[in-house]
Each structure stands twice: as C-alpha cells, then as structure tokens.
Structure 1
Amino acid sequence: MADPAVTEIVDAVRSDVRAKLLDLLDEVAGRKVLMLDSTIVGPLDLIVSPSDLKDHGVQNWYKLSETAVSSDCSQMIFLVRCARVELIDMIAAQILADEAEGKDRMYVVVFVPRKTEQCVERLGRSSVRANVRIAECAVHYFPFDKDILSMEIPGVFHDFHVLGDPSGPFYAAKALMSLQSLVGTIPSVHAIGGAAKTLVDVMLRLRKEEQVSQALKEPKPLREQELCQAGVPPVAPLRNGAAASRRREGATSQAKSQPASLQPQPQEGARKAQGGPKISEVVVIDRRVDLFSVLCSQFTYQALIDMSLGVQNNSTDISSASWAKDRSTVRLSPDDPFYQEIRDLHIDRLGPLLQEKARAIQKTYSEKDNVKSPNEMAEYIKKFKTAQSAHPVVEIHINLAHDLKDAIQTEDYKQLLKLEDDITAQSTASQSCLDSIEDLMDDQKPIHEALRLLCLYSLVNNGIKA
C-alpha cells in the first residue's frame, strides 16, 4: 500500500508534467501534427490521453522514423529527447521531404527535458531552410505507479559505467532539482556508489548556482542603496546621530501608513522553509552496488509476467496467447485494486487466491434462485453488478497465471533454475557451472539467459578465471 504522502507527491508531478505538455501544445495555435520520439510514446500515454491531444488541436500523432509522414496540417511539432541526437537527422529528413513537395509549414522542435547546443548545431548543419522554432519542455519524470516516478531513459548504466558518459547522472540531478521546486529543498541527500555520488555532486552544484542566481535577483536593502548613492562618500553614518534619528522616524511613519497588502511579504523560499519540505531525506543508489538482485530469478506474479511476456508502460502483450481472442494487450493498472492485491504474490500463492475469487463470483450468480422479495432483489442486483464487472478481470488473470505456471514447469526453465542455484550456492565446482553455461550456448538456448548466468557467475566468483 502506497503512502498517501508519497501518492500526493506523484500526483503533483503528474499534474505538473501534464500542464507543461498541454501548455506547449496551446502555444502553437491551430491544427497541428505531433511527431514523437519512440521512447516517449508509451510513457506519454500515462500522462495525457488521445482526447486531451485532440482537444488541444493535435489532428494526428506519429512515431518519428526515417520515413517521412504526409499531412495537410500547416504546423508540425517534434517532441524528442535531447539525449537522442541521432533523431535530429530524422527531423531534418521530414522537413526536407516537405520542402521537396513544396509544402509550407511551421515547425517546432521541442527537446525534452532541455535543448542542448549539440542538438541545435546538428539541426543547423542539416541545410533546413524552413521556418523552424526550437523550444524545450522540462519533463523529467513519468509516473508509473502511485509511488514510482521513472525518467524512462534506457542505457544510462551502460553509458556511465562503460562509455564514461556523465550525462545520465546530470539529467537525474536536473530531475531532482525539478522535484524540489514542487516539494521544497530536500535537507538530507546521501549517495551510495560512484554514479550516485556524481549525481549528488551535480545536484549540490546546481543548488548553489540557483541560490547565487536568486541572491542576485533580490533587491538590495534600503540602507545599502543609501550608502551607494552617487556623489556620497562611502562612510557609514553614526548610529546615534541626528540623521539616523530622522531615518528611524521616517521609516516608522511610512510603515504605519502602508496598508497590509503593501507590507514586505516573506519570499517564496521562506514560506517553503516555514512549512518544511515534503521529503526529508533522499538516498541515491547506483545500480552497480547491487547487481546480484537483478541477475537472479524472481517468482512474483508481476515479475513472471515481465519475464515471460514483457511489461511496457503498465501493459503486457497477450496477442500470442491462445485465449486472447480479440485482445492484444492487458492493462496492468496501478489503479486496479484487484491487480494491486495479487501482483506481488508468489506464483504458488496466486492460484488458490484466484480460485477463491472465481468461486465467489459463481456463488453470487447462483444466489439469484434464492431471491424472493423486492428488497432482496435490489440488494442482489448490486452484488451481481460487482461480480459481473470482476468476472472478465479474474478470467484474464486466471489464464495469465496458468500460462506462467506452464512456463516455469518446463524442463528448460528447471534446468536454468538449478544452474542458477548451483552458481549462487557455490555447491558445485566452478568449471562444472561454466561447462553448463557453455552447453546452453551450444544448444542454441536464449542467449540472454546464458549471458545472465555468465554475469551472475562472474559476480559471485569475482570474475572468470582464464
């Protein structure tokens, strides 16, 4: 069960992101077509609906690709991540294709979460002559659950630890700064691991820069202004002199004459400090400090769905299932109370619970024969509608659980699980485990499973001896 305070923060982030996106669409008045970075399409669905896009003038939306899109709209908006510089070439190809057909459009290229000189320079070198406006939209987080915010940036671990690219921690630090603008300054921030330390260092530097920038914008006190007047020597006046007495009397009378609305008000930062931050402490953890947990098999219902079918943007593809009929996807919504109840259960505990739910539904259906009075009928109708709405949901999860149970009962899966146990328990000779992994490769088993076990072996044994 998510903490209500955490859910409130996630809802605030969702509202903030939604407002930014819709305001961005409203800045381009009239009909327009929206071209989306493929890594944004899915997460965007968690924030705005197709009807929201239609209401704000978007006629059609497409994934940005190498193939140009034909549209009669006079305006086109590109929404892309600034980290994916290669997409600039696709944007240029779309614009050049329109120019070749003689189409006169206004183009807006929006970079998420910020525009970079690298992206702007690459677009400038593409020989695009059309009317192109460059903007940025500070969207850092996508809410995936009542207590989960994800930046949805794939490859950050590889880029930082393999390529030495610090842009991932930099954007994560910018995201934390953006979060603090909503919930107040987080007083305590801890780092575990190299990437986490880089992130925290960048965040503290950004915080200091923001404080300096804010201090420069604040007006100077009246006393400093008096001492800095032109033609006045920089000599401090006497505290008990006649001039000081006149200044005190004048300030007192001026304060009394001003209405309450004109009295100096506490600044926004001071008001936040008085109320206190909504987050008291943050611990940033580098994934590298715990690789073991992600390399081991998991047995909860949600984890097995992800392993077998894959979960993308709170949905799973069931088009290959024999029982799917006309359905292609199943929504695994965090707002569904039934799914919330079962998603973290071990697969062995899930079956009896689903059978109990199914029996309860059938029992409700059979109670219609015992209804006699109008009052009993009214009460039964309420129970019947509840059971009728739950029936298809329970049926889907029963079929999913049955498929998952079959998948983990296969000999291949049992073999992988035994080998994993041998590696983690170090119960057999190291060379025997390596030979088994090599046999998996020779037998053309899924390569990602063989590589997972090889990485697990290397982690447990501090490397692979030659």
Structure 2
Amino acid sequence: MGSRGCVRFRGIYVLPIRGKKCLIIDPKLGGSLSSIIQTSLLKEHGVELRHLSAEPIQSDCTKVVFLVRSKIDLMKFICSNVHNDISKGLQREYHVYFVPRRAVVCEKVLEDEKVHQLMTIGEYPLYVVPLDEDVLSFELDLAYKESQVDGDTSSLWHIAKAIHKLEFSFGVIPNVRAKGKASVRVADILNHMQAEEPVNSPDMVVPEINTLILLDREVDMVTPMCSQLTYEGLIDEFLHINNGSVELDASIMGVQQEGKKIKVPLNSSDKLFKEIRDLNFEVVVQILRQKATSMKQDYTEMTTTTQTVSELKDFVKKLNSLPEITRHINLAQHLSTFTSKPSFLGQLDMEHTIVEAQSYDICYEYIEEMIHKQEPLVNVLRLLILFSVTNSGLPKKHFDYLRRELLHSYGFEHMATLNNLEKAGLLKKQETKSNWLTIKRALQLVVDDTDTANPNDIAYVFSGYAPLSIRLIQHAVRSG
C-alpha cells in the first residue's frame, strides 16, 4: 500500500477502486493529472472523466471518485452533487481523495452537510508534478497570496514534505540554504521531518542532490513584474503556458477548423523547442528563418538534381523535423503580433527606466497616463508594483491619487485587489528610503551592452536586467 489509501504501481499512486467509475476532478488538478497519466489510458480502463462543478453528475456510474484539493468551496460542490443524487433516488458509492492531503476543516463541511458517512475518504499524495525532464513543480499557484494575505502558511508544510519525499529517492540533501522567513521555516520543517521519518538509504553513500537553495518570492518581487524576452518567456507572457503546453485557436497553427482549440506541447520532447526556448525572441526568429530557407534549398536541389540513396535518406531525416519547424514558425508569427505593438515596446522602455531608477517623475506620469487610457489592468498593476517595490513604496499623496484613479477607471470592484496588494506589501505608502540603488549596484543587476545572440550573462533574458533572485543564487553557489 502507498500513502493513506493509495496503491503504488510503477511509481504512480493508483486509487484502489474496482468497477466502472466516474472520476470527477477539481479543474485545477486536470493539467497536473495529465502530466502523469494520459486521459486515453483512464478511458481504456472504463473511467469516465468529469470536472467538478455545482452542476449535477451526468453519469450512470455506480462508483464516483472525487479528486480535489482541500478547499471549502469544492466541498460545497461535492455536497451539492451528492444531495442531487439523493433527491433523485440514485444510489452510488462515493470516494473523496484529497490532494495532497486531507484537511479537518473540509471534512467538517462534509459532516455538517450529512454526507460524510456516505463517503470513503483518502489522500492522493501528489506533492510535485514533473513539467519537463529537469523541472518539478509544486503547483501551489496561490501559495504567495495565501501566505502573505490570508496568513495561511500550510503551503510551507507541503513544500517541505515534497522535498522530503524527493530525499527518499535521491538521498538526504547535505547542504540547505534558505533566504527569507518562509524559506527558513521550510528548512526547519524539513529538519523535523528528517528526524521523525529518517531517510534510510544504505545503498546511497553519496546523495544525488548536493545543494538545495530555498528562496522566498518576496525577496525578489522585481523580476516577475518585468517582461521576459526569451522565446518561452514571451509565449508564457502572452499565451500563458499551463502544465507544459498552451491552448490556441486551430487557425493560429495553420489548421482550418473554425472554433477548434489545439493544445501545443512545450517541453524538451520537442527537440527544436529545447534548442530555442531560452534564446532571445529576435534570435529565435532568425534561426527559424534559416531553418526554413535551408529546407527550401534542400527541396529545390532534390527536385532538380539526381540524388544518391544516402542523400535522399538525409533529406527524409530533415523532413521529419518539418512539423516542429512549422509549429514554431506559426507560434513566432503569432507572438510577433504582440511584440510589435507600440504599447508593449513602450512598457518595456518604462520597465527599464524604473529598474535603472532613472526618473521618478517620468515613471509616475507614464503610469498615470496608462490608467487614464484604461490600458489592460494587469499591465498597469505590474508596472505600478514594479515602481512601488523599487521605491520602497510611493509618497502618500501619489499613492492615494493613483489608487483613487485606478478605482475610477476600472471600477470599485477592484478595491479588494488593491487592498490585497497593499497587505502583501507590493503596493504601499513610502515609509523608508529606498535601498534599490544600493542593491542594483552591489549585485550588478543592470548590465550594459548585453549580447543577445551570444549571451555571457543572465541579464540577456530581460535585455539588460539580471534577475535579483538569480544573482542571489549565483552568489550562494560561488560562496559554497
């Protein structure tokens, strides 16, 4: 048996329920689950797949499995589904599996709604999700908000638990470095877990992971507010990568099927993407142009001259990469419609002006103008947060004025958002003098004359700004 009610089979925890089943998934877990097991495989084993909502279950299955995060609103959906079945006289066998662990407050909701006794409760210990061959994700996208705004630090336990589970496969990590209050807390929890549940690995004399660096997000709130200029960064910026793929209209990818969406995988299994993902977008466009031109020349030569069998074989090999080239040419062409917009180019210039701390007044007036023009709210807030963070807040007069103008331009329903940003310390009144200039100089965060084609510094990712978090990691490794 695996962890609390799950059977482990070939590295995957399997829910031990036999017979025809309806698997109802928390929508946020859908992408994570698809990274581990193919939907087609579930269907082959007689599993009907549904997303959890308040709508009644449309299925004749006698066994229903809910796979959910420990969220109260999701418990209400489950209760609604069960009550609907009862009102129709339907008899089903219910199972609820919490990801990654159950919560007392959620089970209390099920008890209050008189459905707890009808259910088998378990846990599905999915703490990390493999997004690529060298990337694992906790998939805790609300952790920062929960921790900084709601005061809920349960995500720190999840992170420590995930790391501890990794240690059972790779050995105890000997060097753990933490920067920031939350990271120090994760390191402490990890130490307690190692003491309570030691990693016994007599075969593993040398651990496979030498150093773990834990870094609080709040240590570097500048970087996520800046626009990434690598190929993968821009895809995420405008098209939003989710679980290693993007979903696009079929027409963008050259498929003439009106209204149809296509999921485009973006990971290392795509050899061309692996080659170009971290390059500056302008360099990527040049590479794709060269590859397309080379393919065209090869085709012309093949049709106009006699080819040996060996030469034909080489050409066919190149043809195998044609779908990948076509895919990325279509993606790059679509991205260009965003990157060529004056609004995007103007925002890039302003990001650099703010990061370089060149002129407070110019930055302030630019943001004020964006608000009055009603530019997309997310763009305005990102620039405003960047401005606030690098200045240790805004003078009270400017803070109150911009806050008022935001609510007038975008609606008072955004008051909660502004309050949360203030609570998290991202948008605040200036109380102390900014130390951004000192940090910028000490860590060489701004690098002039970066070579985007042949970069020798991480600053090429943001065309001259080196991410603060990366500089901290570089210093930690060098002093190691």
Residue 183 of structure 2: SS of its match in structure 1?
helix
Q: Give the Å deviation of 1:339.
A: 0.7
Instruction: Tell whether the 8 Å contact from 2:250 to 2:256 is kept in structure 1 after alignment.
Output: no
Question: Which position in structure 2 is the counterpart of 1:178?
Answer: 165
Instruction: Tell whether the 8 Å contact from 1:437 to 1:454 is kept in structure 2 after alignment.
Output: yes
Q: Give the Å deviation of 1:396.
A: 2.3
Q: Give the Å deviation of 1:371.
A: 5.9
Question: Which position in structure 2 is the counterpart of 1:32?
Answer: 21
State the percentage of identical aligned residues.
31
Residue 415 of structure 1 pairs with residue 346 of structure 2: yes
Q: Give the Å deviation of 1:321.
A: 5.4
AA aligned to 1:354 is L
Which among 333, 336, 346 is matched to residue 405 of structure 1? 336
Question: Which position in structure 2 is the counterpart of 1:20?
Answer: 12
Q: List structure 1 runs of 4+ shifted beyond 6 angstroms.
A: none
Question: Which position in structure 1 is the counterpart of 2:176?
Answer: 189
Q: Which digits, 9 at most, give the CA deviation of each residue in 1:324-383, with x for residues without a partner?
A: 53363322132111110011111121122111111222233223336647xx23x34433
Instruction: Tell whether the 8 Å contact from 2:102 to 2:123 is kept in structure 1 after alignment.
Output: yes
Alpha-carbon distance in 2 for matches of 1:115, 1:353: 49
- Structure 2 CA distance for partners of 1:36 and 1:174, relative to 1, 3 Å: same
- Structure 2 CA distance for partners of 1:95 and 1:19, relative to 1, 3 Å: farther
Q: Which digits, 9 at most, give the CA deviation of each residue in 1:133-153, with x for residues without a partner?
A: 001111101000111100111
RMSD of equivalent CA atoms: 2.2
Instruction: Tell whether the 8 Å contact from 1:17 to 1:47 is kept in structure 2 after alignment.
Output: no
Residue 334 of structure 1 pairs with residue 261 of structure 2: no
- Structure 2 CA distance for partners of 1:452 and 1:385, relative to 1, 3 Å: same
Q: Give the Å deviation of 1:167.
A: 0.5
Which among 54, 60, 84 is matched to residue 72 of structure 1? 60
Residue 44 of structure 1: SS of its match in structure 2?
helix
Question: Which position in structure 2 is the counterpart of 1:51?
Answer: 40
Residue 339 of structure 1: SS of its match in structure 2?
helix
- Specify the structure having the higher radius of gyration (Cα): 1
Instruction: Tell whether the 8 Å contact from 1:17 to 1:139 is kept in structure 2 after alignment.
Output: no
Which among 109, 114, 125 is matched to residue 127 of structure 1? 114
- Please, what TM-score do these two structures have when normalized by structure 2? 0.76
AA aligned to 2:119 is V
**1:57-456 → structure 2 map (5 Å cutoff):** 57-58=46-47, 60-82=48-70, 84-128=71-115, 131-211=118-198, 269=200, 271-272=202-203, 275-319=205-249, 322=252, 323-326=254-257, 328-369=262-303, 372=306, 376-377=308-309, 379-428=310-359, 430-456=360-386
Q: Give the Å deviation of 1:417.
A: 1.7
Residue 328 of structure 1: SS of its match in structure 2?
strand
Total equivalences in the alignment: 386
Instruction: Tell whether the 8 Å contact from 1:18 to 1:47 is kept in structure 2 after alignment.
Output: no
Q: Give the Å deviation of 1:402.
A: 2.3
Alpha-carbon distance in 2 for matches of 1:129, 1:180: 35
AA aligned to 1:71 is S
- Structure 2 CA distance for partners of 1:270 and 1:159, relative to 1, 3 Å: closer
Q: Which digits, 9 at most, give the CA deviation of each residue in 1:410-448, with x for residues without a partner?
A: 2111221222222122222x2332121011011010111
Bigger CA drift: 383-392 or 431-440?
383-392
Q: Give the Å deviation of 1:283.
A: 1.2
Residue 30 of structure 2: SS of its match in structure 1?
helix
AA aligned to 1:20 is I
- Structure 2 CA distance for partners of 1:50 and 1:329, relative to 1, 3 Å: closer
Alpha-carbon distance in 2 for matches of 1:76, 1:334: 36
Alpha-carbon distance in 2 for matches of 1:120, 1:18: 30
Q: Give the Å deviation of 1:320.
A: 7.7
Residue 312 of structure 1: SS of its match in structure 2?
coil
Q: Give the Å deviation of 1:48.
A: 0.3
Q: Which digits, 9 at most, give the CA deviation of each residue in 1:293-340, with x for residues without a partner?
A: 111121101111111211111212321855453363322132111110
Unaligned runs of 5+ in 1: 1-15, 212-267
Instruction: Tell whether the 8 Å contact from 2:270 to 2:324 is kept in structure 1 after alignment.
Output: no
Q: Give the Å deviation of 1:86.
A: 1.8
AA aligned to 1:445 is E
Question: Which position in structure 1 is the counterpart of 2:414?
Answer: none
Alpha-carbon distance in 2 for matches of 1:459, 1:43: 32
Q: Which digits, 9 at most, give the CA deviation of each residue in 1:372-408, with x for residues without a partner?
A: 47xx23x344334333332232122112212323322
Unaligned runs of 5+ in 2: 1-7, 397-480
Q: Give the Å deviation of 1:125.
A: 1.2
Instruction: Tell whether the 8 Å contact from 1:34 to 1:79 is kept in structure 2 after alignment.
Output: yes
- Structure 2 CA distance for partners of 1:292 and 1:314, relative to 1, 3 Å: same
Q: Give the Å deviation of 1:130.
A: 6.6
Instruction: Tell whether the 8 Å contact from 1:42 to 1:313 is kept in structure 2 after alignment.
Output: yes
Residue 108 of structure 1: SS of its match in structure 2?
strand
- Structure 2 CA distance for partners of 1:139 and 1:28, relative to 1, 3 Å: same
Alpha-carbon distance in 1 for matches of 2:223, 2:137: 19
- Please, what TM-score do these two structures have when normalized by structure 1? 0.78
AA aligned to 2:125 is A
Instruction: Tell whether the 8 Å contact from 1:318 to 1:324 is kept in structure 2 after alignment.
Output: no
Q: Which digits, 9 at most, give the CA deviation of each residue in 1:181-212, with x for residues without a partner?
A: 2222222222111110111111112222225x
Q: Give the Å deviation of 1:270.
A: 5.3
Q: Give the Å deviation of 1:155.
A: 1.1
